[in-house]
Amino acid sequence: MSEPHISVRNLTMAYGSRVIQSNLEFDINRGDIFVIMGGSGCGKSTLLKHMLGLLSPAAGDILYDGQSFFAASEEQQDAMRRRWGITYQSGGLFSAMTLAENVGLPLQLYTPYSAADRADIIAYKLALVGLAGYQNYYPSEISGGMRKRAALARAIALDPEILFFDEPSAGLDPISSSLLDELIVQLQSSTGATVVMVTHELPSIFAIATNSVYLDATSKTMIAYGDPKILRDHSDQPVVRQFLAREASSSATAEEPS
Ligand SMILES: Nc1ncnc2c1ncn2[C@@H]1O[C@H](COP(=O)(O)OP(=O)(O)OP(=O)(O)O)[C@@H](O)[C@H]1O
């Protein structure tokens, strides 16, 4: 079996002396659509920030293709980051820039492409997310679902090997949300990228996740790891089964199950 794309090794995360999660240990394989799950405040975003190298572990490490991120030099870390595409909950588009300028920004910053080549790549990436011809629109002129897709076009501008999402469908209606899910699956299969996402949305979790981890706020560690459909039916942890079997309609507002 090939080396895991991402390995979380004995990771403990803390803010000062307050431990959020400890002893996290799991792998994410190349091409997985991996979901970080758990109740409100359990540490999902904190884990994502560690994976992005924005926070340093209290203990443990995260390996990319077998290489430690936190033991790597700044130069090596930059090279690793260059292979990632990130979309944040808010979308994170620059409101004063057109979609073409937003998607073109990473190309301008990190590639030697000419303006004409960049324009071709921008058109291609916008078409991939269903926004062909929207180059000259500003974020405020398009819908929330379109803004999320534009942010995704920007995230894939540099052909990332890993795509990170923080609550990709937050604030979207169910139809836009399921369109975004379909798009994530399509992009994953056409690019072979590994996808890592934090989400509460059960429909998304069951529609697209190939693997997952469940972080428990009470015991402050992971209590489940695997395909969410299998965990829903067979986890030995009642709290995990309950989390995954709750009514889909309540998923947007669900708090941690007691
Ligand atoms: N910068 C910070 N400094 C101190 N504590 C923080 C900081 N950010 C988050 N926390 C705390 O860490 C815990 C985990 O937060 P985190 O945002 O990672 O959880 P989450 O699972 O993503 O939550 P949610 O599902 O509500 O978004 C929470 O108790 C939160 O209050």
pLDDT tens sequence across 76-103 = 999 999 999 998 776 689 999 999 999 9
Of all protein residues, the one whose alpha carbon is nearest to atom 14 of ligand 1 is 43
Ordered alpha helix ranges (H), the chain: 44-51, 74-81, 99-110, 115-128, 144-155, 174-191, 202-208, 228-234, 238-245
Q: Which residue minimizes the CA distance to atom 26 of ligand 1?
A: 40
Question: With a 6 A CB cut-off, is 57 part of the ligand 1 pocket?
Answer: no
How far apart, in whole angstroms, are the C-alpha atoms of residue 164 and residue 166?
Answer: 7
Residue 41: CB within 6 Å of ligand 1? Answer: yes
- Does ligand 1 lie within 6 Å of residue 36's CB atom? no
- Which stretches of the chain score pLDDT less than 70? 1, 90-91, 247-258
For residue 246, how far is its CA from the centre of ligand 1 (angstroms)?
A: 23
Task: Tell how far the Cα of 197 is from the centroid of ligand 1, in angstroms.
Answer: 16
The owner of tokens 């923080």 is: 166
Per-residue pLDDT tens for 166-204? 988 888 888 888 888 999 999 999 899 999 999 988 989
Instruction: State if residue 255 touches ligand 1 by the CB under 6 angstroms criterion.
Output: no
Please report, for residues 143, 175, 213, the alpha-carbon distance to residue 171 in angstroms, rounded to integers and kept in the order given: 11, 12, 23
What are the angstrom distances between the C-alpha of 104 and each of 83, 85, 121, 197?
17, 14, 8, 24
Which residue's structure tokens are 């203990």? Answer: 59
pTM, whole model, 2 decimals? 0.90
